Amino acid sequence: MAKHARCVPWEHAMSRRRWLGTTLGAAAGAYGLGGLWQPALAEQLQSRQRQVLFIWIDGGMSQLESWDPKPGTRFGGPFRAIPTSVPGIHVSELLPRSARLMDRLAIVRSLCTQDNSHSAGVARIQRGDPKNRGVTYPYFGSAVAKLLGAGQSGLPPYLWIKPGGGGFKYEDAGFLGAKYGALALGDGQPPENLLRHESLSADDDAARQALRRRANQRYAARRRPEVNDAHGYVFEMAAALMEQQELFTGQDDPRDVQRYGSHEFGRHMLKARKVLEAGVTFVKVNSYGWDTHGDNFNGHARLMPKFDQAFAAMIEDLEERGMLDHVLVIAMSEFGRTPRINGHVGRDHWPEAWSLAMAGCGLHKGLAVGQTNDEGTFVDTQPYDIGHMFHTWFKALGIDPQRTQYDNAGQPLPIAHDDCHAVAELLA
């Protein structure tokens, strides 16, 4: 492969605004408030803090079997391209539900990053690849938790829903300090021992927590605050989770399970919707098993329908609930997959030309930015590195990366790569 020289909206019978007005009016009447409560609550909903749903497709989704198909070409593979709800934009036939929602989505087809290994690529993509300043930068989730805060939910600002084990993942926070790490919900389950032991009364527990806080204050008086802050934070977040345990103990609506899918990814995405509704600032959902070096086409034929089902259900639900205006949705991997098909009928790692999909707050809808050449081997327009995406995401969330800096013990540090910029075409 020789490298190129250059690296109509869905209509609704009732609009969301009208639906909110009707529903809130009914609720106001039920509370005996008449028309007084409706505009106040509507304003409150419209001013909700911005949130992020970050869907991490671990291992590398193939752009050719998803957002940038090249059927009938040397490397195109067996799957067709299908039209979407936006004329002129086609995606893989493995994404039929997402195709119908294209007028809510924004696709980037011109990612050109650097690392082609998982060990380097995962960290580089999720940190935004800032210039080396001798410190470990935070993952995007920790950055958003720091810059946007926990909001009014009282819940941890950064939750990570993933297969396997859970626990507190302080490593994501980098130099921000352990407080901004991720609370991982292994298999979507709450942390162990979430419930207060039956032998301990609420009053006794409150007294113990008060004593702990006083001891922490004495301990912290002559020491650097970072570790102590994180230690105390874990206890406070545990208490907050205990107060909202219905997020984990309640039964899912069977209709939701059917729409999202009873498979692992569907269950985790449904859990993500619930915690977003509860007000969590940043929610990451992992899907594993996408490293298709062998049998790529059967692998994607198995994986893509699960992704498509849960992803489309999430976009539909966020829009129906009036949340898509303040939730930024990002679905991406650490790189794409090679156009060339290897001897094991697989595709290898390919950071040179790949795609991601987005929706939600601060973004234009119904567009595909950038393009690859006819065979999908390299980017044929302006290439965008992950630093450009960080600038774009921060801007979409109302954070100006040109004027906002981290404070690392008195050292000012940029929140996104200095040499990159936001992709203006994506921003509303």
- φ, ψ of residue 26 to 5 degrees: the values are -65, -40
**Whole-angstrom Cα distance, residue 377 to residue 70?**
10
- φ, ψ of residue 282 to 5 degrees: the values are -130, 125
Q: Which helix (H) or strand (E) holds 315?
A: helix 296-320
**Whole-angstrom Cα distance, residue 260 to residue 330?**
17
For the domain spanning 50-192+251-426, the CATH number is 3.40.720.10
Q: Which helix (H) or strand (E) holds 136?
A: none
Residue in 351, 413, 423, 367 with CA at minimum distance from that of residue 390:
423
Distances (CA, A) of 133 to 140, 192, 268: 17, 38, 36
Distances (CA, A) of 217 to 154, 170, 224, 225, 232: 22, 22, 12, 10, 10
User: Are 157 and 130 within 8 A, CB to CB?
Assistant: no
pLDDT of residue 247: 81
Beta strands in 31-148 (DSSP E): 51-57, 81-83, 90-92, 105-111
**Whole-angstrom Cα distance, residue 275 to residue 69?**
34
- Domain map (residue ranges) of the chain: 50-192+251-426, 195-244
- φ, ψ of residue 65 to 5 degrees: the values are -105, 20
**Whole-angstrom Cα distance, residue 356 to residue 335?**
9
pLDDT of residue 225: 65
pLDDT: is 146 or 246 the higher one?
Answer: 146
pLDDT exceeds 80 at position 111:
yes
Q: What percent of the chain has pLDDT over 90?
A: 68
pLDDT of residue 227: 62
pLDDT in tens, 154-201: 899 999 999 999 988 999 999 999 889 999 999 998 877 766 777 777
pLDDT of residue 40: 44
User: Are 129 and 400 within 8 A, CB to CB?
Assistant: no
pLDDT of residue 32: 31
| pLDDT tier for residue 214 given thresholds of 50, 70 and 90 | confident
- The strand order across the sheet containing 367-369 reads 167-169, 182-186, 158-162, 282-287, 51-57, 327-332, 354-360, 105-111, 367-369
pLDDT of residue 239: 76
Distances (CA, A) of 223 to 176, 227, 422: 17, 9, 40
Place of tokens 């009732």: 14
**Whole-angstrom Cα distance, residue 123 to residue 121?**
6
Over the chain, what is the mean pLDDT? Answer: 87
Distances (CA, A) of 343 to 1, 294, 346: 16, 8, 7
Contacts of 329 (CB under 8 A, 6+ apart): 52, 53, 55, 314, 315, 318, 358, 359, 360
Distance of CA 242 to the CA centre of its chain: 25
pLDDT of residue 233: 72
| pLDDT tier for residue 218 given thresholds of 50, 70 and 90 | confident
| pLDDT tier for residue 224 given thresholds of 50, 70 and 90 | low
Q: What is the mean pLDDT of residues 361-379?
A: 98
pLDDT in tens, 348-360: 999 999 999 999 9
User: Environment class of residue 161 by beta-carbon count within 10 Å: exposed (0-12), middle (13-18) or buried (19+)?
Assistant: buried
- Quote the pTM value: 0.85
User: Environment class of residue 149 by beta-carbon count within 10 Å: exposed (0-12), middle (13-18) or buried (19+)?
Assistant: exposed
**Whole-angstrom Cα distance, residue 122 to residue 335?**
9
pLDDT: is 225 or 33 the higher one?
Answer: 225
User: Are 141 and 280 within 8 A, CB to CB?
Assistant: no
**DSSP-derived secondary structure letter, 178:** G
- φ, ψ of residue 402 to 5 degrees: the values are -80, -25
